[in-house]
Chain A
Amino acid sequence: MQIVDIHHVSRRFGSVQALRDVSLSLSAGTIGLVGNNGAGKSTLLKVLLGLLAPDAGGGTILGCDIRHGSRELRSRVGYMPEAAAIVPMLRGVEFVAFAGDLYGMPHRDAKRRAHEVLNYVGLGELRYRRLEEYSTGNLQRLKLAAALVHDPQLLLLDEPTNGLDPAGRAAMLELLEDLIAETGKSVFLCTHLLGDVERLCRQIVVLDRGTVARAGTMQEMRAEVNNRFELSWTGDAAVFRTTLTAAGVEFADPADQGQAKVMVVVPSGFSTGTFFELARASGTVLTHLKADEENLERLFFRVTLQDDTVPEPAQGQTLPAT
């Protein structure tokens, strides 16, 4: 089932083209939305929430027309904002019930449901605390409960682990994994923490300057890099480079001649054994050969910066601000 099916969507704010000819067809499941600041993530989220109609293009989200079905759409979507977004002086259970009221749930149902979802997210014991007394981690859980109160088909989570310590982040991700596994709800995760996307999402949308740089499953994207290898050798480097080039191998960074390990891109049908044959023919010995297992960080840098020479980011590294 397609939950997002939009075609040629564009949106401009004054002189800024926030979205440019965006087409997406995403099936139910967990979807990660990544991109630099200013890439158009917020604008796309607004379109997904039915808060913004596109200037051009159209399509459906959860079967609702993105131009005319905004209220119907929001009744099927639960949104967890990045900001604190608290209503002062309320208790946790009142806040979640209030969210239900704002969705149009009968008040009695909203109250009952608030107790249920607070138990589910692990805040059953803290439900009568004032919002001002919640820790950052518990506040994130509370906002998740408020997004779940009307039992939506799709959850839009905006930076759900932002500001959490490592233990809080792990607990939040565990809760989200459990939610996805148990309820089968579709989740749209918008975050700068690529490790979170890698852990939770099966599909990824990479936005870059208002366009979709890549969209698909992680496996599909990784398949694109099966022709990349990292290797090093001993012997005459110039001769081996010439031999590799003659065999159709391209160097990811041709300018750098002095690296201990180099990244190469091989033509189709090239097997790893060929490396050893070419090395033997050029009188060199291979000391290192490894298929490039690209993680999401490297994939992100590759598709957005079009630069293969970026260093390997550390686990949990955030995207650069632009």
Chain B
Amino acid sequence: MELDQAHYHGWQGTLRSPWSACAAIVRVAIVQVLRNKAYWLVLGLGTLRFLAYWSIIYAVTQLTLPGDAHDRLLEAFGFSANSDVDQNNGYIMFMEGQNIVVMILLAFSGSLLVGADFRLKALPFYLSRRIDKRHYIVGKLLAISTVIALLTVVPALLLFLEYGMFTSSTEYWLANWRIVVSVLAFGAVLCIVNSILLVAIAAYLQRIVPITIAWASLFLLVGRLGSFLYRETDNAYWRLLDPWRDMRLVGRLCFGSFRDETDRTLAWWALAILTTLCAVALLALVHRVRAVDVVE
């Protein structure tokens, strides 16, 4: 039977929980990022890093390398696939590196994913539907977290799978199960901290240039200031001013792999600082979203 498209047709169905809308917000955010070709460069950079690590694992496990080339290759990339190696844990190195790519991507995409909702007055579009402010905030945090996870957690887990497949398979996976937990825990830290900070900053600043400046200031200038104060006073606690370093310290806490004893001591402080920072940012975000009038 031919569909009559000229006339209005009703719809009868059951509406799902408003929390299901969070999945739609995540899906739309991914579409928005992928549609913007400028971000492909950054995504390509992240993919290249992943492929480099993939190739190293393939080379050291599958190819017969002459002399000590095997060790030198691993040393060049600072890579070890075993969880009991404190120094140069390959997964930490990989995720920390990917986080640089994530930081660049978020600095430029915050305006599109969150700022535009305020700038183009799209928030009434969301909040006049069946969802409320909680669903919107959770949806946006999940959307940013998904972008982060796709660049950090997912490839790290793929590397873990690859190493196992090319070596002793289940033996490697079972012996190093803690790596999976550590990757997920570090990924959760990256997702939570980055998403809350980005959504809060983008909700207030909205446009790409102010967001990028604020983002860079938070993660670069404050870090420089912390390093400067550390050099002048020789007090390692000043380095906790750097939220990026704090994330790396918490990451090492997740993996139980520290460069030195000072890092081990500072890691818990870093966790406390990040928790406070996120709580303040979340409160500011809730305040900002509550201030938006759905009907003007």
Contacts and interface: CB of A to CB of B under 8 A. Distances in A.
Interface of A: 42, 45-46, 49, 51, 71, 74-75, 79, 81-90, 94, 98-99, 101-107, 109, 113, 116, 119-120, 124, 146, 148-151, 158, 179, 182-183
Given A88-B112, A116-B9, A119-B5, A103 B15 contact: yes
Return the 6 tightest CB-CB contacts between A and B, nearest first: A101-B24, A83-B121, A104-B15, A102-B129, A151-B11, A79-B128
B295 interface: yes
A74 B121 contact: no
A83 B28 CA distance: 20
A84 B13 contact: no
A119 B8 CA distance: 9
B126 interface: yes
Contacts of A183: 8, 10
Nearest to B135: A102
B20 interface: yes
B72 interface: no
Nearest to A97: B24
Contacts of A87: 28, 32, 116-117, 122, 125
A75 B296 CA distance: 21
Nearest to B3: A116
Contacts of B9: 116, 120
Contacts of A75: 15, 130
B22 to A, nearest CB: 10
A82 B122 CA distance: 11
A227 B127 CA distance: 47
Contacts of A116: 5, 9
B8 A51 contact: no
Given A49-B294, A116-B9, A158-B295, A103 B121 contact: no
Interface string B5-31: 111111111011110110110001001
Nearest to A44: B295
Nearest to A77: B128
Contact of A104 (B28, B123, B128, B130): B130
B142 to A, nearest CB: 14
Contacts of B7: 120, 182
Given A81-B125, A90-B32, A119-B5, 6 more contacts: A49-B128, A104-B16, A116-B9, A120-B7, A120-B9, A149-B11
B5 to A, nearest CB: 4
B124 A102 contact: no
B121 A84 contact: yes
A146 B130 contact: no
Nearest to A87: B122
Contact of B24 (A74, A107, A120): A107
DSSP class of B's interface residues: helix, strand, loop or mixed?
loop
B125 A74 contact: no
Contacts of A94: 28, 31
Contacts of B131: 102
B28 A81 contact: no
A41 B124 CA distance: 16
A83 B124 contact: yes
B293 interface: yes
A84 B117 CA distance: 11
Contacts of A85: 120-125
B62 interface: no
A103 B6 CA distance: 24
29 contacts: A42-B293, A49-B295, A51-B127, A75-B130, A82-B296, A84-B121, A85-B120, A85-B123, A86-B125, A87-B32, A87-B122, A87-B125, A88-B32, A88-B112, A89-B35, A89-B36, A94-B31, A98-B24, A99-B129, A101-B24, A104-B15, A106-B16, A109-B11, A113-B11, A120-B8, A120-B9, A148-B8, A151-B11, A179-B8
Contacts of B6: 119-120
Nearest to B33: A89
A85 B8 CA distance: 24
Nearest to B123: A85
Contacts of B128: 49, 51, 74, 79, 81
A146 B125 contact: yes
A104 B8 contact: no
Contacts of B293: 42
Contacts of B23: 101
Contacts of B123: 85
Among B6, B116, B132, B295, residue most surrounded by chain A Cβ atoms (within 10 Å):
B295
Nearest to B9: A116
Contacts of A107: 24
Nearest to B10: A151
Interface string B224-253: 000000000000000000000000000000
A89 B11 CA distance: 27
Interface string B128-145: 111110000000000000
A182 B295 contact: no
Contact of B294 (A46, A84, A106, A146): A46
